[in-house]
Structure 1
Amino acid sequence: MTDAPTVAALFDAAVAARAAAYAPYSQFRVGAALATPEGAIHAGCNVENAAYPVGTCAEAGAIAAMVAAGGRRIAAILVLGDGPALCAPCGACRQRLREFAADEAHVLVAGPEGVRARFTLGELLPSSFGPANLEAQP
């Protein structure tokens, strides 16, 4: 799910979402786009709030768009931010991704010039707690 056409589509969707970000306080605009196993692409951007804890990360927006469209699984996600450092998903977003993605899901971290790093969700969130932990035990 990280073939060149999919990565290009994810990047383009994240660029468009990033352009729509609402970041009047930090000026740090983030766009994210995810792909479902069926190939659907959903994007989101960060939305800040004067009460900082109330803001929404770009990844959360992309997940909400996927769920609203009826999707339930993430095969890959690309997160796009500025600056020289990697703009990897925060801890809360790693857990949000885990709700809909397996350890093998691809997480691409990009800057304006393109993909900077590639991870699996399992690398970013090892030994995670997920939906399987809540399944009935025999």
Structure 2
Amino acid sequence: MGPLKDIRWRQRFENFEKSYKLLEKYAKEDIHSEIEKAGIIQFFEMTFELAWKVLKDYLEAQGFIVRSPRETIKQAYQIGIIDDGHTWIDALSKRNLTTHTYDEAFADKFVQEIKQTYFPLFKALYEKLLEDE
């Protein structure tokens, strides 16, 4: 692992950690208002973006070449950094959808998905990468 690549993923991890901690805080709360829903969805988008980028940097530090979020997720799954590749790909699709659409019924359902499905993915990644920190 080259020293610059090693430093890069660790720096990205620090940013991911900050975003993850914010999402963790609000994923435990009851979300009712429109602004709270929009906020947790924004935290999901930000955390997902940092998650795939820290994975990309981590993989590159290990000598892999990945260019897109999809490639990164697939490679991370193949070498065992993440456990549920299909759910990560689903999270990617949802992240892409949320950045282009706002629908109140979708937001209500998605907030629950963030809490029950996607937050645990980020938690598992956080714990895995924390071991390598």
Kindly indicate which of the two structures has a greater share of residues assigned to helix: 2
Structure 1 length-normalised TM = 0.31
Structure 2 length-normalised TM = 0.32
Q: Which structure is higher in RCO with an 8 Å CA cutoff and minimum separation 6?
A: 2
